[in-house]
Chains A and B, each alone.
Chain A
Amino acid sequence: MNEPVIETTNLSYHFGTHQVLHDLSISVPAGSIYGFLGHNGAGKTTTIKILLSLLQDFHGDALILNKDIRSRRMEILARIGSLVEAPGLYHHLTGWENLRIRSLLLSVVPEKIVDTLRTVGLMEVKNRLVRHYSHGMKQRLGIALALLSDPQILILDEPTNGLDPTGIKEIRELLTTLRSLGKTIFLSSHILSEVEKIITDVGIIHKGRLLYGGGVEGLKASGANLVEFDVLQPDLTRELLTMWGISFESNHHLINIPCKSNARIAELTDHFVTHGISVIGIRKLEKSLEHVYFELVEKEMQQT
Chain B
Amino acid sequence: MNQFYNCFRTELLKTKRTLSFSGAIIIPTVITGVNFLTFVVYREDFAKAGANLWIALAGNIFSAFALLFLPMYVGMVGYSTNHIEHQADAWKNLFALPLKRSTIYLSKLCMVLLQVITCVTLLYALTLLSGQILGMLYPELGFQNYDSTVLILVTIVKFTLASLGTLAIQYVVSIYWSDFIKPMGAALIGLVVGILLAKWKFAFLVPYSLCPRVMEQFQKENLTIFNREVLSSVLWATGVFILGYWLILRKNVK
Interface residues of A, Cβ cutoff 8 Å to B? 15, 49, 52-57, 74-75, 77-78, 80, 82, 84-93, 97, 100-102, 104-107, 145
Contact = CB atoms under 8 A, between A and B. Distances in A.
Interface in B1-28: 2-3, 6-7, 9-10, 13-14, 16-18
Name A's interface SS.
Answer: loop
B100 interface: yes
A55 B254 contact: yes
Contacts of B94: 105
B40 interface: no
B96 interface: yes
Name B's interface SS.
Answer: helix
B10 A84 contact: no
Contacts of B254: 15, 49, 55
Contacts of A54: 92, 95-96, 252-253
A4 B100 CA distance: 26
Contacts of A106: 97-98
Contacts of A92: 16-18
Nearest to A93: B16
Interface stretch (B68-76, B83-91, B203-211): B83-91
B252 A55 contact: yes
Contacts of A88: 85, 88-93
A101 to B, nearest CB: 5
Contacts of A107: 2-3, 6
B208 to A, nearest CB: 31
B220 interface: no
A54 B90 CA distance: 12
Nearest to B17: A92
Nearest to B9: A104
Top 5 nearest A-B pairs (CB, nearest first) are A88-B90, A78-B98, A54-B253, A52-B96, A88-B89
Interface in B186-207: none
Interface in B128-169: none
Contact of B97 (A49, A56, A77): A77
Nearest to B91: A88
